[in-house]
Amino acid sequence: MTNRTASVERNTLETKISVSINLDGTGKAKFDTGVPFLEHMLDQIARNGLIDMDIYCKGDLQIDDHHTVEDIGITLGKAFAQALGDKKGLFRYGHAYVPLDEALSRVVVDFSGRPGLHYEVEFKRAMIGSFDVDLFREFFQGFVNHAGVSLHIDNLKGVNAHHIAETIFKAMGRAVRMAITEDPRMAGIMPSTKGVL
């Protein structure tokens, strides 16, 4: 197994971000972003995906959380693309259904090299604490665009906004874990008839 790690920095006038990941980790995570609810959700990806993840961001939170959340998605996507390399030997596809009490969500991912987001989530309220739920889409769009994945996120049931969000991010972690697992029967083989992803 190759060393599937990456460290990416992204600095703009709005955010300064560093992301380090180990795709073959144990789910350990450290965050310092200034957005506690996002950190709680990122921890779900790390734990359920068994991905070690360190994310630091100094963003323009005096304006709002938008740039921080979106740019973390972008930088995390870049780190995934770097860590996966040519993607030979991957299962490539992953899916997960995750419940939490009354909420149930499904996430399906394809590390296809082509960005695409299908996001069907309706929250019953606009805020979870001080976090604007509209920013979840921005996070996933940034990730998709820079990781080069096709990502389908569907909340199937749910009333409590926190539960809905948590099922989405837990399912994301599980689906990604399945997709990036190395398939011993495909060792060294590109999982595409095109010969490239």
Tens digit of each residue's pLDDT (9 = 90 or more) over 26-35: 999 999 999 9
In SS3 terms, 56-103 reads as: EEEECCCCCCHHHHHHHHHHHHHHHHHHHCCCCCECCEEEEEEEECCE
The whole-model pTM stands at: 0.97
Give the model's pLDDT for residue 196.
87
Q: In Å, what is the CA distance from 29 to each residue of 7, 54, 105, 135? A: 14, 6, 23, 21
Cα distance between residue 53 and residue 48, in whole Å:
12
CB neighbours (10 Å) of residue 59? 23
Give the model's pLDDT for residue 195.
87
Give the model's pLDDT for residue 85.
94
Cα distance between residue 91 and residue 178, in whole Å:
7
Cα distance between residue 94 and residue 104, in whole Å:
17
Backbone angle region of 40, left / alpha / beta, with phi > 0 → left and psi within -120 to 50 → alpha: alpha
Sheet bearing 150-157, strands edge to edge: 93-100, 103-110, 150-157, 116-120
Within the chain, which residues score under 50 in pLDDT? none
pLDDT digits (tens, 9 = 90+) for 120-140: 999 999 999 999 999 999 999
